Amino acid sequence: VSFNSARFLISASRLDECPPDDGVEIAFAGRSNAGKSSAINCITGHGKLARTSKTPGRTRLINFFSLNREHCRLVDLPGYGYAKVSRNMKEDWQEHLGHYLNDRRCLRGLVLVMDIRHPLTEFDRMMVDWCEHNQVPLTILVTKADKLKFGQAKTTMLTIAKELKQQQFVENLVMFSATTKRGLDETRDILSQWFEP
Ligand code: GDP
């Protein structure tokens, strides 16, 4: 597949608004502000495919992007923990995302985006556990690596790898930066393989 071919397809606020559950989907999850939109924009080579400036109303939507191969889609899941959402909206969000994650048969793998300065938040651990439990392949992008000195970034990666090995499985752990494009080729390779039949 060519990631540069990504085009906005549809936004869904409920499961029954999603495209038909066929083909292959790769979904992106992350805490709000982790750098998920920037990562998606970087991978697809689009400046603004996933909006980098958010409004509260948009955070709840699941956004689908089609690729050049039929029925291959990238999915931008709502960011978790938007600062201004109320408790109710959080519950809403969890239920909403839960439906997608639990019911979507064409979900081939999950890309979890986390900020290298705030790795493995409670939400991240929940997603890792969920992937392990449901045997969904997981790639973790540890992004904004450019915010740390390389040595520091390396040490953080090792710490994360160690923590994950003790408790859970994870298929790929990539040091990433949307700013410098570090890890971009590796990430595209991983996702391309997931799209192979
Ligand atoms: P999202 O809420 O997870 O979609 O996060 P965004 O992609 O909107 O990014 C949140 C903030 O972090 C924005 O100000 C981005 O410009 C910034 N950001 C995202 N990725 C990077 C990165 O790789 N390096 C740096 N330095 N800043 C980044």
The pTM of this model reads: 0.93
Please, what are the domains in the chain? 3-195 (3.40.50.300)
Q: What distance in Å separates the CA atoms of residue 162 and residue 16, rounded to the nearest whole number?
A: 39
Residue 136 has pLDDT above 60, yes or no: yes
In the reported structure, the alpha carbon of residue 31 is separated from the centroid of ligand 1 by a whole-number distance in angstroms of 11
In the reported structure, the alpha carbon of residue 33 is separated from the centroid of ligand 1 by a whole-number distance in angstroms of 6
pLDDT band at 120 (very low <50, low <70, confident <90, very high): very high
Residues recorded for the chain:
197
> pLDDT digit string (tens) for 163-194?
998 665 678 999 999 999 999 999 999 999 99
> pLDDT digit string (tens) for 8-18?
999 888 888 99
Question: Ligand 1: which of 52, 113, 115 to mutate, judged by most atoms within 8 Å of the beta carbon?
Answer: 52
Pair of tokens at residue 158: 């090792």
Q: What distance in Å separates the CA atoms of residue 172 and residue 32, rounded to the nearest whole number?
A: 22
